[in-house]
Every structure is written in C-alpha cells, then in structure tokens.
C-alpha cells in the first residue's frame, strides 16, 4: 500500500515549508543568541515568533532575509540557501520578500505615494498610469488611499506602519516578515494591523512571519506560534496549545511570571560584596 515510502524520495511538489532553518547558531559578542535552532515555516500560514526580549527574534529575521550571516547552519527559502547566495541572487530573492520594519522606515523625502511606488519604480519600467493604479489599489487595501499625497512626517505611527505595509506588498511577495508590528499602537490601530495581516495572508496567499510580544494579538492572527528561549525553540504549536502548555518556559512567558527560566536578575556578582558588606561566608 505505502508505495511512496518505498520509492526514493524525489520531491515533485514544492516542500510544504517555505522557510527551513537547520542548525542555526549565532554568537553576538560574548552572548550565544542561537544554539542549533531548527525551524520550519509552513507555506500560506501566519507564523508568530515569540520570546523574551533579547532572545534574538529580530536577529532571526535578519538571518532569514540575509542581512546578517549566521555563524553556522542553513536557512533555506524556497530551496535557496540564503547565507550562501551571491549579492545579486540575494537581491533577486528579496524582490519576492516584503519586510515591515518596526519603525516603518519610510523614505522621509518621498510622499506616501512615492514611498509605496518606490520598489516598482526601481525594478520595473511600468507606464505611469499602471504604477498609479497598483499603488492606489495597495493603499486602498490598507485604507490610506486618501493619504497618498501626505509626507511621512505627517503620519501617525499606525498610519506610517500601514503605509510601510502597503509598500511591503506592492510587488505581491511570497513571504512577508513583520518585525514587531504591534509595538506602540493604540488599540484601534492594533486591531487594524491584526486584521490587515490576516486578510493579506488569506487573500494574497502569502506566507507571513511575525515577531511580536502581544500574545492577545498573536492568538487572533497566527496559525502557529514558535517560542524562542535560551537560544533554542522552547515550544511551538497553535496559540491555544501554547497558552495551556506545561513547560516552564510557556508558563513563565504566557503566564506573565516575573521570575522563572528567564531570571529576573541580570547575571551579576555577589550582591552583598557589591554593596560593600563582608562576604556572607565570613560573617
């Protein structure tokens, strides 16, 4: 019956995973950020990467986009091994990736319209009416068609992030990465971004990776949650599986306990000695 298992594994259909990370290891300064991380990002799904501050979530995004090479391990996007790509091949790959920066990173010299049109103008030689229509459609999708003529300095934080989102999807990417998309937003703007991420994922059929802290927002948007801690994947699963997980990591992270596997105290020397008291042993 099980013929497929007996025959040699020749992949005819593309892998179920768009991004595959294997044995990722990174040391920044004297700190080990990743210690053999294995991670799969499923196609067409929203995957949230969570973890305590400083656990390397943003670094992971930088590895995936090739902005930073890891010390060891491989990162495959659609079969291409990112750290080993030439600069040209990396740029070709990035044309198919949208990236939403935490601070939006809009080009301050250009209007909202020109910001969104920027990737089109740089890479494609399209007639102006077509550029205009594509840009206005994307702006309409994020609800800011009326703001096309504003400058970035005139936008609120939530609006700037939506403009950046329109810019990230202007070329219909296969993968969108969101770096802390919910930080610093009021509840209304946060709900708008949550809704946008979900609708974009479902209507465009893209794969989304988002790095976030806000578990309530993540439960509404993510299909799969990965908890990074201590340089490894501490737990993963659907949001509800993680919320009821039994591992000390998930309990501390989702239960919001101040102390646990992630210590409240930053590593330091003996407290009494630091304050100038005689060492505890000598007393």
Residue 108, interface with other proteins (CB under 8 A)? yes
- Residue-by-residue DSSP string for the chain: --HHHHS-----SPPSEEEEEEEEEEEETTEEEEEEEEEEEETT-EEEEE-STTSSHHHHHHHHTTSS--SEEEEEETTEEGGGS-HHHHHHHHTTEEEE-TT----TTS-HHHHHHHHHHHH----HHHHHHHHHHHHHHTT-GGGTT--GGGS-HHHHHHHHHHHHTTT--SEEEEESTTTT--HHHHHHHHHHHHHHHHHH--EEEEE-S-HHHHHHH-SEEEEEETTEEEEEE-HHHHHT--SHHHHHHHHT-SSSSS-SSPS-S-HHHHTTPPPGGG-
Pattern 24-63, other proteins, x by CB under 8 A: ----------------------------------------
Nearer to other proteins, 103 or 137 (CB): 103
Residue 119, interface with other proteins (CB under 8 A)? yes
91: how many CB neighbours lie within 10 A of its CB? Answer: 12
Owner of token pair 């009821």: 244
Q: Work out which of 24, 49, 97, 142 binds other proteins, going by CB under 8 A.
A: 97
Q: Work out which of 26, 47, 59, 65 binds other proteins, going by CB under 8 A.
A: 65
Residue 118, interface with other proteins (CB under 8 A)? yes
Q: Work out which of 38, 71, 81, 95 binds other proteins, going by CB under 8 A.
A: 95
Nearer to other proteins, 52 or 119 (CB): 119
Nearer to other proteins, 80 or 101 (CB): 101
Q: Work out which of 71, 81, 92, 241 binds other proteins, going by CB under 8 A.
A: 92
Residues 67-86 that bind other proteins (CB under 8 A): 67
Nearer to other proteins, 51 or 119 (CB): 119
Q: Give, in degrees to the nearest 5, the angle at Cα 86 between 98 and 118.
A: 35
Nearer to other proteins, 175 or 196 (CB): 175
Residue 265, interface with other proteins (CB under 8 A)? no
Question: For residue 138, what are its two tokens?
Answer: 């994307």
Pattern 182-221, other proteins, x by CB under 8 A: ----------------------------------------
Smallest gap from residue 110 Cβ to other proteins (A): 10
Residue 135, interface with other proteins (CB under 8 A)? no
Residue 16, interface with other proteins (CB under 8 A)? no
Smallest gap from residue 113 Cβ to other proteins (A): 16
Q: φ, ψ for residue 167 (rounded to 5)?
A: -65, -35
What angle in degrees, to the nearest 10, is found between the helix axes of 112-123 and 128-141?
Answer: 130
Q: Work out which of 20, 33, 99, 113 binds other proteins, going by CB under 8 A.
A: 99
Interface residue list for other proteins (CB under 8 A) = 65, 67, 91-92, 94-95, 97, 99, 101, 103, 105-108, 118-119, 122-123, 167
């Amino acid at each position: 019956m099980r013929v497929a298992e007996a025959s040699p594994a020749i992949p005819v259909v593309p892998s179920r995973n768009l991004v595959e990370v294997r044995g990722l290891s990174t040391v920044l300064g004297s700190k080990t950020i990743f210690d053999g991380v294995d991670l799969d990002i499923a196609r067409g799904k929203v995957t949230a990467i969570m973890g305590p501050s400083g656990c390397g979530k943003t670094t992971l995004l930088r590895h995936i986009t090739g902005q930073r090479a890891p010390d060891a391990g491989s990162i495959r996007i659609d079969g291409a091994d990112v750290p080993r790509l030439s600069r040209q091949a990396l740029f070709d790959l990035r044309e198919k990736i949208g990236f939403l920066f935490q601070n939006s990173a809009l080009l301050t010299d250009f209007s909202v319209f020109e910001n969104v049109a920027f990737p089109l103008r740089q890479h494609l030689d399209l007639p102006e009416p077509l550029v205009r229509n594509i840009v206005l459609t994307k702006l309409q999708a994020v609800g800011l068609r009326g703001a096309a003529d504003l400058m970035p300095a005139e936008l609120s934080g939530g609006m700037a992030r939506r403009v950046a989102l329109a810019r990230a999807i202007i070329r219909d990417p296969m993968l969108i990465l969101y770096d802390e998309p919910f930080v610093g937003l009021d509840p209304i703007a946060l709900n708008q971004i949550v809704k946008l991420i979900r609708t974009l994922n479902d209507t465009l059929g893209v794969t989304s990776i988002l790095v976030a802290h806000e578990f309530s927002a993540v439960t509404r948007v993510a299909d799969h949650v990965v908890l990074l801690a201590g340089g490894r994947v501490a737990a993963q699963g659907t949001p509800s599986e993680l919320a009821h997980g039994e591992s000390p990591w998930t309990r501390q992270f989702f239960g919001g306990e101040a102390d646990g596997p992630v210590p409240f105290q930053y590593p330091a020397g003996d407290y009494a000695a630091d304050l100038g008291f005689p060492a505890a042993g000598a007393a």
